[in-house]
Structure 1
Amino acid sequence: MTETFCIDRPSFDPATGEARFPYRLGALAFTEVLALPAGADERTAQSPSFRKLLDLTAIVLGVSYFKLRAPFAIAAPDIPLTASERAFVIDVYENGMGEFYARNQLARFGRLSLSAPEDAEERKPAPDLPERTLLPIGGGKDSLVSADLLAHTGVAFTPFAVNPKGPILSSIAAIGTEPLYVTRTLDAEMIRLGQQPGFYNGHVPSTAINSMVAALCAVLYGYSQIVLSNERSASEGNVMFDGRETNHQHSKSLGFELLIADVLANATGGALRYFSLLRPYSEARIASLFTQSTKFDSVFSSCNRNFRLTGNDGPLWCGECPKCHFVFLIFAPFMAKDRLLAIFGKNLLAEPANERSFRELAGLAGQKPWECVGEILEAAACFYTLTRHADWHEDAVVRAVKADLFAQYGEEKLQLAMAECLTDSHDHHIPAALAAKVAAYAV
């Protein structure tokens, strides 16, 4: 394959808020457009920090166009990169695209080349960013738990979203704070070609993409920190492929968080912080925190049907996908049964047709689904809790998996796993003062 994926220099008009990102793939040309709030300060838009972040955003957004042919050569002829930025780009295009390669059987790990000019200035001058917080909202439970933790620890924040729809809009409405929205318009020809023979399609690291867009907004509109809502479970991979563990949630992992946090800090002279507030927690622990308030019960959803390009005209929860099954499973040990059934509209553990999906989540069949779901042992531990729970132990799926669950893991291992799920980790990147406040509240 001799094609090169070429990332040209992006442009930004502060008066209109329009950023344009041009790409070339062989003879094909594409342009992606971001619409940021209009009327940004022109001097800020011309600052070294914003220019650097705009260039890096162009590279990260490029994965959507690169994947059409997945060539071995990537070129950014007009975008200077430092050594650490090169490592970051290769990580995005290798590990961030790991699921895409695995599902398309493409060997790319360690084989990609990146051509770009050298940037000898490792750290840009620091812009003056006020102490304000940008909180990306995804519409699911996690970012709403972050919103609750920030509110209770006295940290004001602005909800942030790219192309908000469905549960993102309803969740932000329930938060009740003025948001900052960005509209992302993918090139229509890229979308069309992705459905044609001779071109590839598949997963891209959306958290990396949205994080770079958030960083643009942080510098442009004055925010000193971007607070993510990625849990520790996100660091667990799905399968081994091409000699490497691939992870559907790579750009939510702790490893990627540390990498991008360093890149954003260098691009802004240390002025911009990036970390996940939920990194100490398992998915089960986050579920237990969510149950402390009912105000988001009718507005949130993790079901992917809400986030399709074509929209969703059905309920917030389809009840059929691995995301629905996993969220139901981790809520069940902590939430009153009638409340959980009211959220989902039905009892997903009472339907035998769901058994195979639940078995995959708990490591009793197949592989961990290519979804944003928690650790396999965590799911198994939640099942163990349900086998001993008066409200759930008689449900069809719980009864069906019980014997195999005990045979594969043993009671002692499952008990210890559940205790570990509810023990907060110290392996995180949260500023010390905030971490102490959150720990004092989240008991």
Structure 2
Amino acid sequence: MTEQFLIERPSFHPATGQAIFTYGLGGKSFTETLTLPEVDPEKAASPAFAKLLDLTAIVLGVSYFKLRAPFEIVAPNIALSEAERAFAIDVYENGLGEFYARNNLARFGKLTISAPHDAEAIKPIVALPDRALLPIGGGKDSLVSVDLLTAVGLDFTPFAVNPKGPIITSIDKIGTKPVYVTRTLDAEMIRLSKEPGYYNGHVPSTAINSMIAALCAVLFGFNQIVLSNERSASEGNVTFDGRETNHQYSKSLGFELLIASILSDATGGALKYYSLLRPYSEARIASLFTHETKFDRVFSSCNRNFRLTGNDGPLWCGECPKCHFVFLIFAPFMAKDRLLSIFGKDLLDNLDNEASFRELSGLAGQKPWECVGEILEAAACLYTLTRHADWHEAAVVRAVKADLFAQYGEPKLQAAMAECLTDSHDHHIPPALAAKVAAYAV
């Protein structure tokens, strides 16, 4: 018999705020729990919430599916429209693209999902107040969104799943009461992921957290989920199994448009989903971050702060590609003494980091499997530093300069930097809000 991944219909208990998700794979059963704040039972009884809970079960399932990555997914008690079925397949194919590439598993175009058909009837419109739920990741991006939303006067509430470290300290600095959700993964799944005969790897965490945010939006009254994903997130890493594989797929514009449509349909058009930073490059976001100093000592993009096991070390390890990339994009725009005070050391003046900066800028290897910006963007920032009074003598800048110029040429690097600082019109932000943000972010 062909191995199948089973997704059971989830349950929700308003008295405890617990959502229970159950999965089956290889004769084993797994249970995951979400614990939400105090819930209004009436809102939890709405058709929109029931539909979103079912879709959340589908998306959360990727963490368990990847243990064996079978070709068949079955959800016998979850009715899916054709659009929702396509969404589910996209999450399990492109959302797990890096996982497949790094485990050398060919699955694109080969997965099937069996579920009852849900007639695509228009869902009742949910009444949701005009305010935003803003996921906070602890890094620079969502904090730039805080600044922009504050400036244009859009009411927002910070949101996080399993908040820790820089997420908590950043939200404390924001000073607005957050919505926190506790996600408890099945311990047996975590154990098996380290055992022979089982796979492990990257999952589309933005897709997962977005579905959890959608549950909260309907329960607690928010008509917008505002992400902080930049345009660079749409660039992939490698080609595998006939298509581009992107570490940040669930942060890409393509996925944003797909999930926005699904969430809108589930709520009768009431719930909007978009990224406020989509018009911007990483470098442009870094330049906007420099306008505000209050988050300097609390934010971090270093993944060592967000491991399941936690981290008691510094906010920035100074050794990983994320640290190197963020340092690089800040350097052209931020005063050097401020940047050094944030990171605690000069990452561009240490030749041990040269290989990493070469990968980031396309001079060697491949784009790292990390949430970093475009290769040409990193090259353009390095080029800018070769002409910068504070940075042109830094060891790494001097070491890569000749190869940078030889590979790209000055005209291309100059044009790339100008492009980094030019806002894109390719986004999904509501037009009136986009106009207000553009007027402020100059």
Q: SS at 1:207's partner residue?
A: helix
CA distance in 1, matches of 2:128, 2:152: 21
Distance 2:107 2:120 in 1: 30
Matched, 1:160 2:148: no
Q: What is aligned with 1:330?
A: 329
CA distance in 1 between partners of 2:339 and 2:30 (Å): 45
Could you say what secondary structure the match of 1:24 adopts? strand
How far, CA to CA, are the matches of 2:122 and 2:213 in structure 1?
Answer: 20
Q: In the alignment, which residue of structure 2 is the partner of 1:175?
A: 174
Matched, 1:33 2:27: no
> Could you tell me how far apart the structure 2 residues matched to 1:417 and 1:328 are?
19
Question: Which aligned segments of 4 or more residues in structure 1 are displaced greater than 2 angstroms?
Answer: none
Alignment of structure 1 residues 19-418 onto 2, 5 Å: 19-38=19-38, 40-418=39-417
Deviations 1:233-257 (A, max 9, x none): 0000000000110000000000000
Residue 123 of structure 1, CA deviation: 2.9
In the alignment, is the contact (CA less than 8 A) between 1:341 and 1:347 conserved in 2? yes
Render the CA deviation track for 1:71-112: whole Å, top value 9, x for unaligned.
000011000000100110010000000000000000000000
Shift of 1:124: 1.2
CA shift digits 1:163-213 (9 cap, x unpaired): 000000000001010000000000000000000000000000000000000
Whole-angstrom distance in 2 between the partners of 1:298 and 1:339:
11
Distance 2:123 2:65 in 1: 28
Distance 1:331 1:61 in 2: 34
Q: TM-score, normalised by structure 1?
A: 0.99
Equivalent residue letter for 1:126? I
Q: Distance in 2 between matches of 1:288 and 1:234?
A: 17
Contact 1:229-1:277 at 8 Å conserved across structures: yes
Q: Which residue of 1 aligns with 2:10?
A: 10
CA contact (8 A) 1:227 1:274 kept: yes
Q: Provide the C-alpha distance between the structure 2 equivalents of 1:287 and 1:123, rounded to a whole number of angstroms.
A: 42
How far the C-alpha of 1:122 sits from its partner, in A, is 4.0
How far does residue 121 in structure 1 lie from its aligned partner after superposition? 2.9
The number of residues matched between the two structures is 442
Give per-residue Cα distances to partners, 1:253-283, cap 9 Å, x unaligned. 0000000000000000000000000000000
- Give the equivalent residue in structure 2 for 1:420: 419
> Is this contact kept in 2: 1:82–1:122, CA < 8 A?
no
Partners of 1:296 and 1:48 lie apart in 2 by: 40
Structure 2 residue runs of 5 or longer lacking an equivalent are: none
Query: Any gaps of 5 or more consecutive residues in structure 1?
Result: none
C-alpha RMSD over aligned residues: 0.6
**1:122–1:266 Cα contact (<8 Å) kept:** no
Residue type of the partner of 2:20?
R
Deviation of the 1:26 alpha carbon: 2.1
Identity fraction in percent? 81
Distance in 1 (CA, whole Å) between partners of 2:429 and 2:247 is: 23
3-state SS of 2:133 partner:
strand
Q: In structure 2, the residue corresponding to 1:423 is in which secondary structure?
A: coil
Alpha-carbon distance in structure 2 between the residues aligned to 1:120 and 1:156: 35
Distance, in Å, in 2 between the alignment partners of 1:81 and 1:41 is 26
Letter in structure 2 aligned against 1:192: R
Distance 2:194 2:435 in 1: 49
SS at match of 2:21: strand
